[in-house]
């Protein structure tokens, strides 16, 4: 790890810090925001390849932005938790000395900077949203994660902001679709709440509160069917898949709040963010676009076999 360069093992350790499987779920946030903005209609309208490139370029910038923001945020999570991880998770890259805390700090800073700069290529609204997300991620890593109420809320705000970052592909739509951020806020709050017991075990009451929040999310998704431009029929299959993936592990973790059960629930919840996003995307942009978002799930699950999710 010392010297001018890094070995392949060294690079692998820093890649582990970025949690690639989780970054794929952040891409899904951008795609659902893109669908909700109405921009996804270009797939039915453009004819020439050049037109496709021009129309999709802002989306590409936002995907780069969320990669930097999420990657930087989770790197700083391990930077701030280095002392705690040395006791509770010594196998992680920094406490195991496979990655240095100093280099991880540089990596996290560069990634967050890339996130903000890439978003600003789309519009000033996107740039401001990215800066807010970066600040919220650092706030969570440094302070809020240790608070029972503000931790889940803070993390939820990061994901809600990420969805709105996707909406900002058409900046004027952010004001109109702001309420969509509430869905990932509540969903991530549920995951973050239950994850507080993934090392030493949790409390049953916390597990059942998290389960209740998941129920609120599913109800909220179905409630979008009241919107005139939302195809609830297209969203229903995805909503059923979401329920099938998250309700059983969350219920089991609530009944038996042991570390293994909680980690299983957290992993299912994080990866199922893609299913949540596919559900909303299908309602706004139709079944094919929902399936496009859902294709990210096997990619994320495959990466989860190689990299830690929690």
Asked if 77 and 94 touch (Cβ cutoff 8 Å), the reply is no
- Res. 39: pLDDT tops 90: no
pLDDT at position 197 = 64
**Contacts made by residues 169-175, CB under 8 angstroms, sequence distance 24+:** 169/33, 169/34, 169/37, 169/39, 169/58, 169/59, 169/62, 169/122, 169/126, 170/37, 170/38, 170/39, 171/122, 171/123, 171/124, 171/125, 171/126, 173/36, 173/37, 173/38, 174/125, 174/129
Which is it for the CA torsion 220, 226, 228, 233, positive or negative?
Answer: positive
Q: What residues contact residue 97 under an 8 Å CB cut-off, 6+ apart?
A: 1
Beta-carbon count within 10 A of 93 CB: 23
pLDDT digits (tens, 9 = 90+) for 214-250: 999 999 999 999 988 899 999 999 999 999 999 999 9
- Structure confidence at residue 209 as a pLDDT band (50, 70, 90): confident
- Res. 11: pLDDT tops 50: yes
Burial of 306 (C-beta count, 10 Å sphere; 0-12/13-18/19+): exposed
Mean pLDDT of 265-280: 92
pLDDT at position 48 = 44
Give the helix ranges, DSSP H, for 38-100: 42-45, 49-80, 82-88
- Res. 23: pLDDT tops 70: yes
Mean pLDDT of 140-164: 88
pLDDT at position 196 = 73
What pTM did the predictor assign? Answer: 0.87
CA neighbor of 71 nearest in space, from 103, 33, 107 = 107
pLDDT at position 9 = 63
Mean pLDDT of 55-73: 94
pLDDT at position 80 = 94
């Amino acid at each position: 790890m010392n010297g001018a360069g890094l070995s392949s093992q060294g690079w692998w350790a820093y890649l582990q810090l970025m949690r690639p499987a989780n970054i794929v779920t952040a891409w899904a946030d951008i795609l659902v925001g893109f669908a909700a903005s109405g921009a996804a209609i270009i797939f039915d309208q453009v004819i020439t390849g050049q037109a496709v490139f021009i129309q999709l370029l802002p989306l590409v910038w936002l995907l780069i932005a969320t990669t930097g923001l999420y990657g930087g945020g989770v790197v700083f999570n391990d930077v701030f938790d280095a002392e705690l991880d040395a006791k509770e998770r010594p196998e992680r890259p920094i406490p195991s000395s496979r990655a240095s805390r100093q280099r991880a700090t540089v990596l996290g800073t560069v990634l967050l900077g890339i996130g903000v700069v890439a978003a600003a290529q789309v519009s000033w609204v996107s740039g401001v949203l990215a800066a807010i997300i970066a600040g919220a991620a650092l706030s969570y890593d440094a302070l809020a994660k240790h608070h029972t109420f503000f931790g889940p809320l803070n993390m939820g705000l990061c994901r809600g902001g990420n969805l709105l970052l996707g909406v900002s592909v058409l900046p004027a739509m952010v004001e109109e679709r702001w309420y969509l951020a509430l869905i990932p806020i509540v969903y991530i709050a549920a995951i973050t709440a239950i994850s507080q017991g993934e090392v030493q075990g949790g409390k049953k009451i916390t597990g059942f509160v998290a389960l209740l929040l998941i129920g609120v999310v599913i109800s909220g998704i179905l409630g979008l069917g009241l919107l005139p431009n939302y195809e609830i029929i297209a969203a229903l299959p995805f909503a059923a898949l979401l329920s099938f993936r998250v309700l059983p592990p969350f219920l089991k973790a609530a009944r038996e709040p042991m570390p293994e059960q909680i980690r299983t629930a957290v992993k299912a919840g994080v990866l199922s963010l893609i299913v949540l996003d596919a559900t909303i995307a299908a309602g706004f942009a139709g079944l094919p676009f929902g399936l496009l978002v859902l294709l990210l799930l096997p990619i994320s699950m495959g990466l989860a076999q190689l990299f830690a999710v929690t």
